[in-house]
């Protein structure tokens, strides 16, 4: 079911006001792309149904990674690629979260903060792996938001429960079904690693917030292992190409305000609604527009691209994994909105000037679904 409201509705109501909100050029370009997505501003194409013969038009998408309407196919492609890399071993979900005392720096220097978060997280896990004399692996996905669109940088990490020893043999870390490593120990080392790196990169800023950084324990959350490797891929699909807010959460957009659903995790995930002005909503949404070219999904250790190219298939053979060949990607054929059963095939393209004259004449005179 298509959502009734979307982020683009707010942007259209704001118009040029977004240019006076203190946003940077990249944020404004991103918001502009989201506003134009699947509208005549980006041109489109004419589709013909192979069942009833109906002709229809579809407008092009912006393909921006922050757009709520453009993530579905990217997510499916990524998941399909990961399925071929699975091992028959336990997998754990670990979340590393930065304290809110970092938020001011994250707003002004997001690349520095988020790169440091990735580095400190991987070095924390590596420290435990080295104690076991194994090379570990990790897939990490950056999220920067809380449910109410506040700044809340954290990494969702999928970590296989073991690693490869110096002889290339797989070694499980534990087999009792408990957490991968002690959470309190992870938290302490994670904080130390992050602070060490921040002090090295931004010594003046580090000294300004040092006391706040060390005052409270940092949060590392760990879940017990997944039921099966396949469930890992399904779980990953929820996080890889997620954005700050989906259109389905937006319940109303009026002349001044927007209302959306959110979960309050301070009250055990109680569902609530929040109403914000258009400007405040877009200000919060823009906090989660990542710097240009920033890589938000990263692979480490024996899951890194270099290691996978050279050694992954050999490891899979040792673990008796049935390695699947590259599956041919099936073309996505949307269903006809007219007969609901036929598939749509693209027969013509058009730019922002609109559909060609021949289509306008045909579409006004024929509609096979009405016959």
- Report pLDDT digits (tens) over 358-371: 887 665 545 666 65
- Is it the case that residue 239 has pLDDT exceeding 90? no
pLDDT at 315 over 90: no
Tell me what the pLDDT averaged over the chain comes to. 89
Domain spans of the chain, in order of start: 7-66+332-370, 72-244+287-318
The answer to whether residue 22 scores a pLDDT higher than 80 is yes
Whole-number pLDDT of residue 46? 94
Out of 55-69, 131-145, 355-369, pick the least confident.
Answer: 355-369
Q: What is the pLDDT of residues 256-272, one digit of tens each?
A: 999 999 999 889 889 99
The average pLDDT across 309-330 equals 74
* Whether residue 78 has pLDDT greater than 90: no
Least confident range of 35-39, 83-87, 297-301? 83-87
For 31, the 3-state DSSP assignment is helix
What is the share, in percent, of the chain residues with pLDDT greater than 90?
59
Q: What is the pLDDT of residue 357?
A: 84
Q: Could you tell me how far CA 23 lies from the centroid of its own chain?
A: 22
Q: Please report which residue ranges of the chain form alpha helices under DSSP H.
A: 7-14, 25-36, 72-83, 103-108, 110-131, 183-201, 203-215, 229-236, 278-286, 305-307, 313-318, 357-365
Range with the largest mean pLDDT of 63-72, 218-227, 272-281: 272-281
Better-scored residue on pLDDT, 95 or 325: 95
56-68: average pLDDT? 92
Q: Could you tell me the pTM of the whole model?
A: 0.90
Higher pLDDT, 37 or 331: 37
Residue 353 CB-density burial (10 A; 0-12 exposed, 13-18 middle, 19+ buried)? exposed
What lies within 8 Å, CB to CB, of 223 at 6+ separation is 92, 93, 94, 179
More confident residue, 24 or 364: 24
Task: Assign 168 a pLDDT band (cuts: 50, 70, 90).
Answer: confident
pLDDT for residue 366: 54
Which one has a higher pLDDT value, 330 or 363?
Answer: 330
Answer whether residue 42 shows pLDDT above 70: yes
Q: Quick check: 170 pLDDT over 80?
A: yes
Q: What span, in angstroms and rounded, lies between the C-alpha atoms of 347 and 307?
A: 43
CA 128 – CA 187 distance, rounded (Å): 12
288: closest CA among 36, 91, 39, 34?
34
The whole-number average pLDDT for the span 182-195 is: 94
């Amino acid at each position: 079911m298509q959502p009734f409201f979307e982020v683009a509705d707010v942007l259209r109501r704001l118009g040029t006001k977004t240019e006076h909100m203190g946003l940077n050029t990249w944020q404004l370009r991103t918001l502009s792309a989201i506003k134009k997505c699947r509208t005549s501003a980006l041109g489109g194409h004419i589709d013909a149904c192979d069942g009833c013969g109906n002709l229809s038009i579809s407008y092009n998408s912006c393909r921006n990674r922050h757009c709520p309407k453009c993530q579905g196919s990217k997510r499916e492609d990524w998941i399909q690629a990961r399925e071929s890399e699975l091992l028959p071993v336990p997998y754990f979900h670990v979340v590393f979260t930065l304290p809110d005392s970092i938020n001011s720096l994250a707003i002004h220097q997001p690349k520095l903060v988020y790169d440091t978060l990735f580095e400190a997280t991987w070095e924390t896990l590596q420290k435990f792996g080295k104690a076991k004399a194994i090379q570990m692996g990790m897939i990490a996905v950056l999220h920067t938001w809380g449910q109410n669109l506040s700044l809340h940088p954290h990494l969702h990490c999928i970590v296989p429960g073991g690693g490869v020893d110096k002889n290339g043999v797989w070694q499980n870390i534990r087999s009792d079904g408990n957490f991968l490593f002690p959470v309190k120990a992870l938290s302490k080392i994670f904080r130390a690693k992050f602070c060490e790196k921040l002090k090295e990169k931004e010594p003046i800023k580090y000294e300004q917030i040092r006391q706040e950084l060390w005052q409270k324990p940092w949060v590392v959350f760990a879940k017990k292992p997944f039921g099966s490797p396949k469930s890992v891929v399904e779980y990953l699909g929820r996080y890889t190409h997620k954005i700050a807010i989906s259109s389905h959460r937006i319940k109303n957009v009026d002349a001044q305000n927007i209302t959306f659903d959110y979960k309050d995790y301070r009250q055990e995930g109680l569902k609530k609604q929040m109403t914000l002005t258009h400007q405040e909503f877009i200000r919060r949404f823009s906090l989660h527009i990542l710097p240009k070219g920033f890589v938000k999904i990263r692979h480490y250790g024996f899951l890194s691209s270099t290691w996978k190219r050279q050694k992954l298939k050999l490891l899979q053979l040792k673990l008796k994994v049935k390695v699947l060949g590259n599956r041919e990607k099936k073309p996505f054929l949307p269903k006809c909105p007219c007969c609901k059963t036929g598939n749509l095939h693209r027969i013509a393209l058009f730019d922002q000037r609109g559909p060609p004259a021949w289509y306008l004449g045909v579409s006004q005179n024929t509609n096979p679904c009405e016959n």
